[in-house]
Amino acid sequence: MRGNATMRRRGILAGGAAAAAAAAGGLPRFAVAQGAAARTLRVIPQANLTSLDPVWTTAVVTRNHAFLVYDQICAQNSRGEIRPQMAEGWTTEQDGLAWTFTLREGLAFHDGEKVLARDAVASILRWARRDPFMQVLWPNVAAVEALDDRRFRFRLHKPTPLLLMALGQTQFPCFVMPERIAQTDPFQQIREAVGSGPFRFLRDEWNPGQRAVWARNERYVPRQEPVDGLAGGRVPRIERIEWTVITDPSTSAGAMVTGEQDYWEYPLHDLLPQLRRAREVVVQQRLLDGTYGICRFNCLHPPFNNPAIRRAVAMAVDQRDYLRAVAGEEPDGWGVCEGVFTCGTPLANEAGSEILKVRSVERARAALREAGYNNERVVLVAPGDYPQINALSLVTADLLRRMGMNLELVSADWGTLVQRRASKEPVERGGWSVFHTTSSGQTLAVPATHLFLRANGAQAWFGWPEDAEIERLRAEWVEKGGDPAEGRRIAEALNRRAMEVMSYIPLGFYWQPSAWRRNVTGVFRAPATVFWNIGKS
């Protein structure tokens, strides 16, 4: 199986060496004068930007766009601490039953309107309906109300110390929008991208599948502090940021080597040696966490509405095959992690994870028969333009076929996959059965921010599993997780139950470096790919 994984990976890169050699001659020539190029950061993003709404979707490419356009009330620094961002500060009172936030001076939206407390309140209310963390805390909230133009208050039924962590989290950030936009139903996509962040989205220059463009927000007043993770001063040091979608990795590598692009967010691991040999290219691990892969099931429709069938697939999985398909044999490039919590963190455990150590297609095939699989069609949607996630998808496709499942492999671009995964229709009406995605380790470290673990049915993340015991344990962790022994006990119970429900299969983690030209300045480590404080010399 490991040999097959390597061959699949090489298949993704078929003709890679020849294509790389021809890349410089085959790229379109961008009509940008030398002076303009010095004021523009040209980026090859991880994927195509198709949705502008960071509440409607958790797609990382949309979140990266949102970090440019919007600002947060508070944000995480490089140590995971929550620091003020739009907020000047906050106070707690009445024995922890009220939190009052004060917005700092000088905040303005891109349309020229001042940012007011009521904008923050409307944004919080919309975000809270979709964020899994805030959904758990929301029963504690009596009201969120604007007190005046700069102050708003949470009134609570009982003390909720995790409120700050929820507001400042990185996985599903609470971005502040104008009230008129934030009043949109959170289950409908917004079409405007008006924020108060360091860059303005140039919608007229947006061509999904090709490029997206942002310009410096001249009105933006950054915090007067050094940048630290996502906290501190978000200083826009470049006039324009242009994302150009290049679906062929070898062409992307050629563009970096020749200087036609400045920054490649997720270089393909097979091309890292070529990039490292280029004198004017830097290859470094910029993200603070490893990237964790998952295989997600649609729990609403056959065959994966049957947990026994989901568990049968898990028996065939060998994480090492998936990780080699993405990262090859790169030294220290990946690691097995056969539990639901981020390895190396306090809650990491393998209670009940024996099923992930079976690693046998034959046993999985027998378990599939015993579970009553009736040759139902399985639609696996794979993103052909996202090499890392596509590689994970192809390994699963091979396993499902070898298990004897009636598989239809659909290749789509990542933007189409992001739209399709929101459909709850059966496969006969354009739905899906399986897809793959990735997440940072930071977001999988605790139950409150763990999107894939949530099991509250129709309100859950795509796949919509429903399990009362997982939800009970998540709520218990919110109440008792501050005690290390209790937190560990609950985490082990959650891991054990997650392996029984198996709404998704953990696929281990790999390290994803980025690449940039040496004349790109100010690059810093962060839990997300952000472009403030970055310029060009």
In tens, the pLDDT along 87-104 reads 999 999 878 999 999 999
Q: Does position 1 have pLDDT exceeding 70, yes or no?
A: no
Residue 180: C-alpha distances to residues 116, 118, 123, 184 (Å): 12, 10, 10, 8
Q: What pLDDT is recorded for position 37?
A: 79
| Residue (of 44, 62, 263) closest to 171 by Cα position | 62
Residue 154, H or E segment? strand 151-156
Average pLDDT over residues 225-250: 96
Which pair of tokens denotes residue 178? Answer: 């104008």
Q: Does position 65 have pLDDT exceeding 90, yes or no?
A: yes
Average pLDDT over residues 74-87: 94
**Band of pLDDT at residue 4, cut at 50, 70 and 90:** very low
Contacts of 479 (CB under 8 A, 6+ apart): none
**Band of pLDDT at residue 12, cut at 50, 70 and 90:** very low
402-451 pLDDT, tens digit each: 999 999 999 999 989 999 999 999 999 999 999 999 999 988 999 988 98
Contacts of 241 (CB under 8 A, 6+ apart): 40, 41, 43, 68, 199, 213, 214, 531
Distance (Å, rounded) from C-alpha 423 to C-alpha 462?
Answer: 8
Q: Does position 22 have pLDDT exceeding 80, yes or no?
A: no
Q: What pLDDT is recorded for position 31?
A: 44
Q: What pLDDT is recorded for position 44?
A: 97
Average pLDDT over residues 112-140: 94
CB 501 within 8 Å of CB 493: no
Amino acid symbol at 431: G
Q: Does position 114 have pLDDT exceeding 60, yes or no?
A: yes
Contacts of 68 (CB under 8 A, 6+ apart): 197, 198, 199, 201, 214, 241, 530, 531, 532
**Band of pLDDT at residue 33, cut at 50, 70 and 90:** low
Helix, strand, coil share (%) of the chain residues, nearest 5: 35, 20, 40
**What is the residue whose two structure tokens read 């699949």?**
8
Q: State if pTM tops 0.85.
A: no
- When mean pLDDT is compared across 209-213, 401-405, 501-505, the lowest value belongs to 209-213
Measured in degrees and rounded to the nearest 5, phi and psi for residue 133 equal -65, -50
Beta bridge partners of 32: none
Q: What pLDDT is recorded for position 481?
A: 78
Beta bridge partners of 378: 407
308-351 pLDDT, tens digit each: 999 999 999 999 999 999 999 876 899 999 999 999 999 999 99
Average pLDDT, the chain: 92
Amino acid symbol at 204: D
